[in-house]
Structure 1
């Protein structure tokens, strides 16, 4: 159980978080806070509702100053916390949140590349979300996979205990039109950064601007070839929550993002939704049953020496 391609991908994404000094240091503070919020005999409700408290959890590691280094460090921590939470809520599904871009299949990386003339660049894709296709190869135990490359040679699922990138790229190429993808730009400060996701979402939604020599995608892959693509914004914010209302400039800038705007607090209508709402808004097609059933099934496997112990709960 929990040994499909999405399951292993999710584990590697979380292990990559714990492999960074920033997340390791923050986790020493965050873990007991999260455990207290969940309670002793938590259910799927408590896990999902962590999305209402992510800002509180984030702030337990101290206030973020205005120096560039402090802003960068805080931003990395926030991205990591959001990535951890999304993957926790999608256990057992075909949805995976990835912070480390090198883990993302090459066809997906290529599809979100923005070309300005001869210069290729990527959005500030703090997190890349992949919804793997609902096809047999993504739903069976990886030990049962038997995939052959174009010359008839078997592609090994694992290399050195990790997913074989050749396999991941092969599948993403073969089934590209069945994939869904999303970008979540994560920022600690809303006021300073709202215009950035607004402008990137405009570029993606317009599928580039040919008249200005701006295009989306490369190597024959583009977001227009995916089943669905969304662009979202997730903020703490470090500014006072009361500063935001439906008429705030920063709120208006992200109101119409294709994937929505979210924060780590409870939903405030016409301002921002709790991050827990992103699943039904953007990634509902990736659940094998539904988010509640998938989490309920996973809870017994989150403990030490269980398949999902890598979440460190």
Structure 2
């Protein structure tokens, strides 16, 4: 179950989070707080409900009395925490969250490229969500796979270092492109100063570009218009912790109609923001047969020396 292509990519994505000083230094403080919130003998509900506490967890690396721009680790730490949480809750599924764009298959990167004239730029994609097609190549153990390219040459799933062979992943993403689903998540610690950014990017993607202004989406024949589903979401701390948000505020209105919704790391507040734990059923339901079932089955595997111990939650 945990030796297929999505799970190999998930492991690589999470391990790369821990390879950064920002995440590692924060994790020293976050891990005890996460364990305190979960308690002993936690179940799938406790893990999923961590989404209601991510703001609280993130703020443990701040200093009392300091401003919103001085939270330890800043935006990179928040992005990493969200990426870790989404992967934690989607183990055993075809949903994978990736922070490093270099791990995203080339056809997917091409599809989300926005072109302004001859200049191609990447979106503000802090986290890219891949929902792999429900095909044997993505659900079966890699030891049973025989992937051949268009020249009938075998493409090994693993490279010499035992990591996922991205050439094989690029080939599959090209072959099965129309069956993929993509989610882009923009993460910001500050809501007030950044709400207009996801609003404008979502407008561009939803409109399919603006050809009259020579703004197009996609390259090399890949476009989000040709995939199964695309969503754009916003996830904030928010670091403006002394502010009470309401549905009438400009910052809230700017992200109300995003295709993927707006979320934060605390319980849902009606007409303001949903808890990040709601993003799974809202946007990624096609990639799983049940989030809670997947988490429940995975819990024993989080123990040290088990296949999912790389999450470092126990």
Same fold (TM over 0.5): yes
Hey, what does 1:87 align to over in structure 2?
Answer: 87
Is 2:114–2:218's contact at 8 Å kept on the other side of the alignment? yes
- Give the unaligned 5+ runs of structure 2: none
**What is the alpha-carbon distance in structure 2 between the residues aligned to residue 31 and residue 66 of structure 1?**
22
The answer as to 2:48 corresponding to 1:48 is: yes
**What is the alpha-carbon distance in structure 2 between the residues aligned to residue 261 and residue 274 of structure 1?**
9
The answer as to 2:241 corresponding to 1:245 is: no
Note the C-alpha offset of 1:71: 7.1
**What is the alpha-carbon distance in structure 2 between the residues aligned to residue 38 and residue 107 of structure 1?**
39
**What is the alpha-carbon distance in structure 1 between the residues aligned to residue 266 and residue 57 of structure 2?**
10
C-alpha spacing 1:97/1:274, structure 2 compared with 1 (3 Å): same
Note the C-alpha offset of 1:66: 5.7
Using structure 2 for the length normalisation, give the TM-score: 0.97
**What is the alpha-carbon distance in structure 2 between the residues aligned to residue 166 and residue 71 of structure 1?**
39
C-alpha spacing 1:135/1:265, structure 2 compared with 1 (3 Å): same
The answer as to 2:225 corresponding to 1:224 is: yes
The answer as to 2:115 corresponding to 1:120 is: no
Note the C-alpha offset of 1:151: 1.5
Hey, what does 2:237 align to over in structure 1?
Answer: 236
C-alpha spacing 1:246/1:127, structure 2 compared with 1 (3 Å): same
Note the C-alpha offset of 1:65: 4.2
SS at match of 1:115: strand
Hey, what does 1:167 align to over in structure 2?
Answer: 168
SS at match of 2:120: strand
C-alpha spacing 1:38/1:72, structure 2 compared with 1 (3 Å): closer
Runs of 4+ aligned structure 1 residues displaced above 2 Å come to 63-67, 70-73, 240-243
1:92-123 CA-to-partner distances (Å, cap 9, x unmatched) read 00000000000000000000000000010011
**What is the alpha-carbon distance in structure 1 between the residues aligned to residue 241 and residue 127 of structure 2?**
25
SS at match of 2:151: coil
Is 2:62–2:72's contact at 8 Å kept on the other side of the alignment? no
C-alpha spacing 1:241/1:173, structure 2 compared with 1 (3 Å): farther
Note the C-alpha offset of 1:153: 1.2
Hey, what does 1:37 align to over in structure 2?
Answer: 37
1:141-188 CA-to-partner distances (Å, cap 9, x unmatched) read 011110111211110110011110110000000000000001000000
Hey, what does 1:62 align to over in structure 2?
Answer: 62
- 1:211-290 matches, within 5 Å, as 211-240=212-241, 242-287=243-288, 289-290=289-290
Hey, what does 2:298 align to over in structure 1?
Answer: 298
The answer as to 2:31 corresponding to 1:2 is: no
C-alpha spacing 1:71/1:54, structure 2 compared with 1 (3 Å): closer
C-alpha spacing 1:79/1:14, structure 2 compared with 1 (3 Å): same
Is 2:61–2:73's contact at 8 Å kept on the other side of the alignment? no
**What is the alpha-carbon distance in structure 2 between the residues aligned to residue 241 and residue 13 of structure 1?**
34
**What is the alpha-carbon distance in structure 2 between the residues aligned to residue 123 and residue 178 of structure 1?**
22
**What is the alpha-carbon distance in structure 1 between the residues aligned to residue 68 and residue 238 of structure 2?**
14
**What is the alpha-carbon distance in structure 1 between the residues aligned to residue 242 and residue 139 of structure 2?**
42
Note the C-alpha offset of 1:3: 0.4
SS at match of 1:211: helix
**What is the alpha-carbon distance in structure 1 between the residues aligned to residue 235 and residue 174 of structure 2?**
29
- 1:143-162 matches, within 5 Å, as 143-159=143-159, 160-162=161-163
Q: CA RMSD in A?
A: 1.2
C-alpha spacing 1:58/1:121, structure 2 compared with 1 (3 Å): same
